Structure 1
Amino acid sequence: DPARAGKALGALIRERANAGRDPLRFAVVHPHSGHNFELRYWLAACGIDPSREIEIVIVPPPFMADALAAGRIDGYCAGEPWNSVSVVAGTGHIATVKAAIWKTSPEKVVGVRKAWAEKHPEALSALLRALHHAARWCEDPANRGELAALMAQPSFLGVSPALQMPILTGHLALGGGAELTVEDFFLPFGKAANFPWKSHALWFYTQMVRWGQIKHSAAHMALARDAYRPDLYRAALKPLGVALPGANAKVEGALTAATPVGSAGASLVLGPDGFFDGRIFDPDRIDDYLAIRDWAMPTS
């Protein structure tokens, strides 16, 4: 539970500060990664100032488990399987997961340069269709064994298929014998997982502004919004007749349950997409969102 885990972490941070000890050190994969923004969002909502009360450092994902075991960091936020690597080694526990902080939230992206896209439109469309078929194949439970064996190769993850299977099923070992099944933990295809929502781009933009990486301006906001191209995505997948959202953006966090929505093509279900602190993000009200001063959840 993100709220309970965050509350306990906040108490520990204050205890250490009162004792004059160094702040805890957390690792993320990149200053502009979703991991950095989601870690900060979680901590801030739990009443922890990630810019002042902890230290955030950059560590490549494959090295995080070793850094934790060696005591160089106290925790980290990374994609799987690197969290489970620490659990299996007995050197770490999973405190919470992104699927609980922001349900069905975006993770990885595929991006190309605008000039390349304009010069090679057919290649780009073929790439998007290939990714669509690959995502559908990866989500099929019948393919989990083959997928895990493929990713176990040294040229990919280089970790055993057995370690990957809990990730693919969503049944996680948290450490210390605790286990948890997380709904939609691995969601590469369903619920429009690959659709480039402009609201996702704008949420990441607000986090860049919030944590002082860029200044808020109409020009910067437009750059972020227009980097996501649902028009190209729709054009590429139209020949396949797949279900695609009719809108380019949505209010993030508004869906509390799986919800059928209007779409082009077959039927489509979205959500739930809630943030753990109950807030919503309306991409049409960016200024109001950035004006929020007290991000901490109400105490109960």
Structure 2
Amino acid sequence: MTAPLRIGFIPLVDAAALIVAVDKGFAAAEGLEVELVREVSWSNVRDKLNIGLFDAAHLLAPVAIASSLGLGHVKVPIAAPFNLGINGNAITVSPALHAALMEEIDGDRFDPLATAKALAKVVAKRRKAGADPLTFGMTFPFSTHNYQLRFWMAAAGVDPDEDVRLVVLPPPYMVDSLANGHVDAFCVGAPWNSVAVDLGIGHILHFVSDILERVAEKVLAVRQVWADKNPDVVASLVRAAVKAAEFIEQPENLAEATQLLARPERIGVDAEVIQRTLTGRLKISPDGTFRESGRYLLVGREGAGRPDPVQAAWLYAQMVRWGQTALSGEALKTAMAVFRPDLYDAALERVGDGHASPPFSAFAGPTFDPRDVAGYLASFAVGRRVP
């Protein structure tokens, strides 16, 4: 048995593999003693990981990259040997904004380009009327939520820095902020979109898989220097997470997994809400309308657990697009090196895992090619590039 590990997490369903690895005993079977520490904000998780109060963490994939590049905080190189989740976010809007969008929409309401164009019309009407800009909540400046909202809006010419307000809110506070009218919409991970719908205060407008087919959301993150000193522990953690993800993805284990996740000290919401997330069948409106997607959240299937450096490159490209950093070949190389398929493969004693990385595709713009980030970014009309 190694020394006890302290691992931080945020109460979100994409922490499932980490929680189940500990609570179902997969970590113990690997010789690990783990204390899971529930946190509220991503800045807390990042800071405690960076200074060594956490040995590992459930972390936003872009934060791992930003930390390695020294963006927005001190520079602490991070290694991500396992993807905790692919996709899993959704955009939820207030009943008033939903009604306004549906009034303006021309086309399929599940088509993100149609809703983005409707948003552009709503924004223009509000400006003409002298109304305050719409306010959208997202979880962190370096987050998929931020980039997903921006990608969606900008496709219809809505400038996320000029035409609306984007504000940072911890995931568990999103619902209250929508209920109190502090935000008109938010992008957050499960279960908080479903909680808003169940309370009758929100409509899920889009699953992020409508916007980006497959995007790395959360990673199991460790400091690079710690990984170098503790390769066997890293391998054990990866194996435990893989076994947990495989357990979660088996339909016969769904009830047990959701009960583990629902406990107050873990995610702390009704098990039925978590089950909806894991099965990809979500109630999207207070009237009881349901929508289903096999790509809503990937925990272990379709090679989701194996880190893909192309995903890291796309996230870095978003940082460049929105003015968080300048484009640099060296920085791109550093960003891609954060995602560690080599550590994943070594832990499982595999040469690859049999899943070819699919091309990175979205509802708008060209197919992403990490060999030509500049060309990719030049194709977009709206952005905030650093000169």
TM-score (ref. length: structure 2): 0.67
Identity among equivalent pairs (%): 39
SS, match of residue 96 in structure 1: strand
Q: Report the CA distance between 1:277 and its aligned residue.
A: 1.9
Aligned residues: 272
Amino acid at match of 1:23: P
Larger relative strand fraction:
2
Contact 1:35 1:77 in 2 (8 A): yes
Q: Report the CA distance between 1:225 and its aligned residue.
A: 1.4
Q: Report the CA distance between 1:278 and its aligned residue.
A: 5.5
Return the alpha-carbon distance in structure 2 between the equivalents of residues 91 and 251 of structure 1. Answer: 36
Q: Report the CA distance between 1:161 and its aligned residue.
A: 0.8
Aligned to 2:377: 290
Counterpart selection for 1:140 from 250, 253, 263: 250
Return the alpha-carbon distance in structure 2 between the equivalents of residues 104 and 144 of structure 1. Answer: 23
Matches within 5 A, 1:85-234: 85-175=195-285, 176-234=287-345
Return the alpha-carbon distance in structure 2 between the equivalents of residues 169 and 295 of structure 1. Answer: 35
Quickly say closer, same or farther: Cα 1:250–1:90, change in 2 above 3 A.
closer
Unaligned 5+ segments in structure 1 are 254-274
SS, match of residue 115 in structure 1: helix
Contact 1:250 1:283 in 2 (8 A): no
SS, match of residue 109 in structure 1: strand
Return the alpha-carbon distance in structure 1 between the equivalents of residues 296 and 134 of structure 2. Answer: 27
Contact 1:252 1:280 in 2 (8 A): yes
Aligned to 1:269: none
1:158-212 CA distance string (max 9 Å, x none): 1011222221221111113322111221321111101111110010000001111
Q: Report the CA distance between 1:245 and its aligned residue.
A: 4.1
Quickly say closer, same or farther: Cα 1:163–1:293, change in 2 above 3 A.
closer
Return the alpha-carbon distance in structure 1 between the equivalents of residues 353 and 168 of structure 2. Answer: 38
TM-score (ref. length: structure 1): 0.86
* Higher RCO (C-alpha under 8 Å, 6+ residues apart): 2
Unaligned 5+ segments in structure 2 are 1-109
Return the alpha-carbon distance in structure 2 between the equivalents of residues 20 and 82 of structure 1. Answer: 31
Amino acid at match of 2:283: A
Return the alpha-carbon distance in structure 1 between the equivalents of residues 182 and 153 of structure 2. Answer: 20
Return the alpha-carbon distance in structure 2 between the equivalents of residues 49 and 95 of structure 1. Answer: 19
Contact 2:214 2:360 in 1 (8 A): no
Aligned to 1:268: none
Contact 1:47 1:295 in 2 (8 A): yes
Counterpart selection for 1:30 from 112, 117, 140: 140
